[in-house]
Amino acid sequence: MTSGEIVTARHIVIRGGVQGVGFRWFAREEAGRLGVAGWIRNSGDGSVEAVIEGTDAALEAMLAWLRVGPPAASVTAVDVTDAVPSGSRGFRIDR
């Protein structure tokens, strides 16, 4: 992102067969490719939770990827809500 670009954020919960399939690692790679910041983690209920920040175009591309996930994943639902940008730099996997 360059200075002056509008940054927005989304909170996402991905459900289905999304744990134990490398979802978080693949998501980190995709976020880096797209210039998206934020974090991703496994949740206790079997879902994967993330907060992503970036331009609208970058977030739409990341959301499109999250709706499918890596080859071994089986995404059944993706819940997206607006979030407040925190100014994150980079994309990390939380545990």
Question: What are the tens digits of pLDDT across the range 76-94?
Answer: 999 999 999 999 999 999 9
- The CATH number linked to 71 is 3.30.70.100
Answer yes or no: 42 catalytic.
Answer: yes
Tell me the pLDDT tens digit for each residue of 32-71. Answer: 999 999 999 999 999 999 999 999 999 999 999 999 999 9
Catalytic residue among 42, 67, 89, 95: 42
Catalytic site residue from 10, 24, 67, 95: 24
Residue 86 included in any domain: yes
- Residue whose token pair is 């990341």: 62
Q: Is residue 13 part of a domain?
A: no
Listed in order, strand segments (DSSP E) in the chain are: 8-17, 37-42, 48-54, 74-83, 91-93
- The domain containing residue 51 runs over which residues? 21-93
Residue among 55, 45, 52 nearest 77 (CA): 45
Residues 6+ apart with CB under 8 A from 20: none
- Residue 42 falls inside a structural domain: yes
Q: Is 28 a catalytic residue?
A: no
Number of domains the chain is built from: 1
**Residue 9 resides in a domain:** no
11 in a structural domain: no
